[in-house]
Amino acid sequence: MSAVDRPGVEPRTPALRFALGAAAAALAFVYFGPVFFGQFRPSEPGRDFSQEWLSARNFWTGAPVYSPQRDAMLRHSGLDTPYFEAEMKWNAHPPVAVLVALPFGLITDYAAAHLVWNCVTFFLFVLGFVLLARELGIDVRGGAAFWALALIVSWNAIHQHLFQGQLGFLIAFLLIVGWIADHRGHQTAAGIAVGIAAAMKVFPGLVLVYFVAAGRWRAVAVALLTGVLLHAVALALFGPAAFETYVRDVLPSLGRFQDSWLNVSFTGYWRRIGFALGAPAVGVAVAVACRLLAIVAIWWVGRSAVGADDRGRAFALAVVGMLLASPIAWTHYFVLLVIPLLFLWQRLPSGLARVALVAVTAVLWLPERLVPALYLGTEAVSGSSLDTMPNSVWMAVVVLGPFTYALAALFLLVGFARLTPVPVADRPN
């Protein structure tokens, strides 16, 4: 839906829309282009993609896929990385994520592997973006295409994703495929896409809450079967020892990330407040309560999903909810939010709700260290996300809270804002 089609929005001539979009894209490429393109190939290893690459290299060289990363990096690249010993001793991702990365482990140079990974997964992300826009009936030609380019090139979450070589582009693509399939009534395809995403990282499994609530039983069964089959393949390739190491050593090591000052989920937000108040147990309890409320809201909206339009809303709500309800959520996870953001862009009428969407989007585009740096200074926030931050309620609520507030506002908009009728004919179940 274009601006011309939305009530209350003044129409612009196509030439003006094209000129404004082209100018925005040009400015974005001039200012952000060097950073954006420079992130595709890192200058040195030690990024998050190192986890997948090292485990894949271990597999191809006959070593256990889960072994201390500092030792693995020294073995495969000759570099000693004490950073791994201090913060990322193990590959934190499940065995299925390693399974997906196996082809990239055949590339012996880390920088080259990271580059190929970024090119492949970013292409899938952009492809998913275009497919989703088309499914929603959003015209991405002309000026709109330029605006989309400007936002993609300038979005901090994308910069961080490329820099770290994270899994989110691939997961976003899978969730988009799942959303489109479910919107069209293809439960089997939706279940496969969601099942793969949840097998790679557990939190996308929250979409199953919507599937169950809406009675999408075939999608539930297919998603679970897909996850089981992928884990069976990983078990056959990597052996039981890999799963034993992951459960015994890797999972317990992830708990400290919940307290990170960059953790934007309900867990991170309320645990910081609990520590600031000297009542950590209260913070944990409130976080659990908020996570349960998010799940109940997804269930409630899913129960009311009777047509394709309602199902699209419930699925989009689950995507926002998975970031809030996950024990750990980083700002680069925001690339997953293209589903709810585009959905609301098409469906929200003009007024306060649309203003709120613009404000939420602006916050989600900010660098994660910007607000803390403005308050504390750049040097204070230039280190690790696990570094201790000033333990005050002001820091927890005001300085470190905006991303969580933006996610919560987006959750409310997707779940409960009044929406305009969908311009595309509803599809049967």
Q: How confident is the model over 283-306, as pLDDT tens digits?
A: 999 999 999 999 999 999 999 988
Number of structural domains the chain divides into: 1
pLDDT band at 13 (very low <50, low <70, confident <90, very high): low
- Is the pLDDT at 381 greater than 80? The verdict is no
Q: Which pairs from 226-231 meet CB under 8 Å and 24+ separation?
A: 226/191, 226/192, 226/195, 226/196, 226/199, 227/96, 227/195, 227/196, 227/198, 227/199, 230/96, 230/99, 230/195, 230/196, 230/199, 231/95, 231/96, 231/199
Nearest to 395 by CA among 297, 298, 268: 268
Residue 3 forms part of a structural domain: no
- Label residues 166-178 b or e (16+ Cβ within 10 Å = b): bbbbbbbbbbbbb
- Is the pLDDT at 9 greater than 70? The verdict is no
* C-alpha dist (Å) from residue 59 to 53, 118, 176: 10, 21, 30
The answer to whether residues 188 and 218 touch, using CB atoms and an 8 Å cutoff, is yes
- What mean pLDDT do residues 201-225 have? 96
- Is the pLDDT at 338 greater than 90? The verdict is yes
Which tokens in the block code for residue 10? Answer: 């003044």
The answer to whether residues 284 and 184 touch, using CB atoms and an 8 Å cutoff, is no
DSSP-assigned letter for residue 426: P
- What mean pLDDT do residues 147-169 have? 91
Better pLDDT: 260 or 356:
356
- What mean pLDDT do residues 343-351 have? 90
259-263, 309-313, 336-340, 389-393: which has the minimum mean pLDDT?
Answer: 389-393
Question: What pLDDT, in 10s, does the model give residues 266-284?
Answer: 999 999 999 999 999 999 9
Nearest to 336 by CA among 171, 94, 98: 171
Number of helices and strands (H, E) in the chain?
A: 22, 0
Nearest to 133 by CA among 122, 117, 118, 149: 149
Q: What is the largest CA-CA distance in the chain?
A: 64
Residue 8 forms part of a structural domain: no
- Per-residue model confidence (pLDDT) at position 344: 95
Q: How far is CA 181 from the centre of its chain?
A: 20
- Per-residue model confidence (pLDDT) at position 296: 97
For residue 303, give the amino acid letter.
Answer: R
Range of the domain at 332: 14-416
What whole-number distance in Å separates Cα of residue 302 and Cα of residue 213? Answer: 5
- What mean pLDDT do residues 355-382 have? 86
Which tokens in the block code for residue 310? Answer: 């309602």
- Per-residue model confidence (pLDDT) at position 73: 87
Nearest to 180 by CA among 194, 197, 170: 194
What whole-number distance in Å separates Cα of residue 427 and Cα of residue 221? Answer: 22
The answer to whether residues 198 and 205 touch, using CB atoms and an 8 Å cutoff, is yes
- Per-residue model confidence (pLDDT) at position 420: 86
- What mean pLDDT do residues 359-370 have? 92
- Per-residue model confidence (pLDDT) at position 119: 96
What whole-number distance in Å separates Cα of residue 123 and Cα of residue 56? Answer: 22
The mean pLDDT of the chain is 89
For residue 79, give the amino acid letter.
Answer: L
- Is the pLDDT at 7 greater than 50? The verdict is no
Residue 426 forms part of a structural domain: no
Helix or strand run (H / E) with residue 323: helix 308-325
Question: What pLDDT, in 10s, does the model give residues 90-106?
Answer: 888 999 999 999 999 99
211-220, 228-237, 347-356, 370-379: which has the minimum mean pLDDT?
Answer: 370-379
For residue 24, give the amino acid letter.
Answer: A
Question: What pLDDT, in 10s, does the model give residues 119-154?
Answer: 999 999 999 999 999 999 887 766 778 888 888 999
Q: How far is CA 142 from the centre of its chain?
A: 28
Residue 428 forms part of a structural domain: no
